[in-house]
Chains A and B, each alone.
Chain A
Amino acid sequence: EVQLLESGGGLVQPGGSLRLSCAASGLTFSTYAMTWVRQAPGKGLQWVSSISDSGANTYYADSVKGRLTISRDNSKDTLYLQMNTLRAEDTAVYYCAKGGQLREIDYWGQGTLVTVSS
């Protein structure tokens, strides 16, 4: 059974940093593209970033470019999102998701809540 387990969320002050992790199991992690999608409280879904299976190719939403960095460690079956210079508008549940190729999303984790507030 495929499992994607996010961790690392929490309360952080504006301008602070946080690193999210997504541990994958039940799949050959290195063969899947991975994506982060966020959902602000009571709002809809917003794509954040995607990374290819090898990690060679990455894409970012303009709103996070230069502040958030996606990466992966295929030896550890883990996806990461390094979040720097956080703003109040980054407050959201962050989901990791997998896809057969970069532009696909076919399975989601349970999400981790990031709250940016003083």
Chain B
Amino acid sequence: DVVMTQSPLSLPVTLGQPASISCRSSQSLVHSDGNTYLNWFHQRPGQSPRRLIYKVSNRDSGVPDRFSGSESGTDFTLKISRVEAEDVGVYYCMQGTHWPLTFGQGTRLEI
């Protein structure tokens, strides 16, 4: 199975400041169709997850442009340019390239 390793697991941030979450995969996530199926999800306390980013760097509809995704080989990064109060919660990366689908452990973002 592909292991997704997130860091840090806890991220204290200041409102208005940038934040960055890393996700490393244990093997390449480039699919034979040429796509890289790496997603980022955000889960607020007591809510179901919401997808923010798909295929490494594509923002979902309605996701603020302060969120961005990037990659360098098997290292993936989610960046928030200026943290807002509504950004608190847990962020998960997930790979969809290989079966079984696997998630990172989650990164808790706290103000």
List chain A positions with a Cβ less than 8 A from chain B. 35, 44-47, 50, 59, 61-62, 95, 103-111
Give A104 to B90 CA distance when docked, in angstroms. 20
* Chain A residue contacts of B43, Cβ below 8 A: 45
* Residues B54-96 near A (CB distance < 8 A): 54, 60, 90, 92, 94, 96
* Chain B residue contacts of A95, Cβ below 8 A: 48-49
| A to B CB contacts below 8 Å, 15 in the list | A35-B101, A44-B90, A44-B104, A45-B49, A45-B106, A47-B101, A47-B102, A103-B101, A104-B39, A104-B54, A104-B96, A105-B39, A105-B41, A108-B49, A109-B48
Measured CB to CB, the nearest residue on chain B to A101 is B96
Give A35 to B31 CA distance when docked, in angstroms. 20
Most chain-A Cβ atoms within 10 A of its Cβ — which of B94, B96, B101?
A: B101
* Chain A residue contacts of B60, Cβ below 8 A: 106
Measured CB to CB, the nearest residue on chain B to A108 is B48
* Chain B residue contacts of A59, Cβ below 8 A: 99-100
Give A111 to B48 CA distance when docked, in angstroms. 7
* Chain B residue contacts of A110, Cβ below 8 A: 48
Tell whether, in the assembled complex, residue B100 and residue A47 are in contact, meaning their CB atoms are under 8 Å apart.
Answer: yes
* Chain B residue contacts of A104, Cβ below 8 A: 37, 39, 54, 96
Measured CB to CB, the nearest residue on chain B to A46 is B103
Give A47 to B102 CA distance when docked, in angstroms. 7
A50-B48 contact given A45-B92, A45-B106, CB 8 Å threshold: no
A45-B94 contact given A61-B100, A105-B39, A106-B54, CB 8 Å threshold: yes
Measured CB to CB, the nearest residue on chain A to B100 is A61
Tell whether, in the assembled complex, residue B96 and residue A105 are in contact, meaning their CB atoms are under 8 Å apart.
Answer: yes
Find A44's partner among B37, B97, B106 (CB 8 Å cutoff). B106
B31 to chain A, nearest CB (A): 8
Tell whether, in the assembled complex, residue A45 and residue B48 are in contact, meaning their CB atoms are under 8 Å apart.
Answer: no
